[in-house]
Amino acid sequence: MKTFSLVLETPAATPEATHRHYMNKLSVETDVADVHYDMQHGLNDFLLIDVRSPKAYAECHIPGAINLPSREMTAETTAAFSKEQLIVVYCWSPACNGGTKGAARLSGLGFKVKEMLGGIEYWRKEGNEVEGTHVETAPMVG
C-alpha cells in the first residue's frame, strides 16, 4: 500500500523557477548576520531604519539606526532620504510585520529597500551591540 505524500502532492518547480524565486526573495530581504558583517567592515552604505515606536527605539536599538515608524513614512518624512541609497528596515522579531509594512511603504515611495529578517530580537540574540536607555532590560519583542 502506497502512502500519500504531502511533500510530493504539489510538484516541485523547475530549477530555473526555483532560482528566480530565491533570487527575488534575496533582493528584498537581508538578515542580522549580513547587516552586522557589513557594518563591522565599514560596508554600511545603506540607511538603517528602526520602524518600531519612538519609545521602543529609545530603550534599545541598533547603533546607527534612525527611528521612523512605518505609519509615519510619507513623502514629507522621507524627503531627505536618497532614492539611490538602499534602505534596510527592521522591527521587533520574525513575528512582527512592521518591517514588511515599512518596506512596502518605502518602496511605494520609490526607495530601494530590504527588510532585515529577525529584527531587533535576533540582533540581540546574536550578541550584537545595541544602544539606548534600557539596553539590558528592554523587551526582546513588542
The predicted-structure confidence for 76-101, as pLDDT tens digits, reads as follows 999 999 999 999 999 999 999 999 99
* Cα 16 from Cα 13, distance rounded (Å): 8
pLDDT band at 68 (very low <50, low <70, confident <90, very high): very high
- What are the pLDDT digits (tens) for 4-60? 899 999 999 999 999 999 999 999 999 999 999 999 999 989 999 999 999 999 999
Is the overall model pTM greater than 0.85, yes or no? Answer: yes
Provide the phi-psi class of 69: left if phi over 0, else alpha when psi is between -120 and 50, else beta.
Answer: beta
What fold, for 30-125? Oxidized Rhodanese; domain 1 (3.40.250)
* Cα 54 from Cα 90, distance rounded (Å): 14
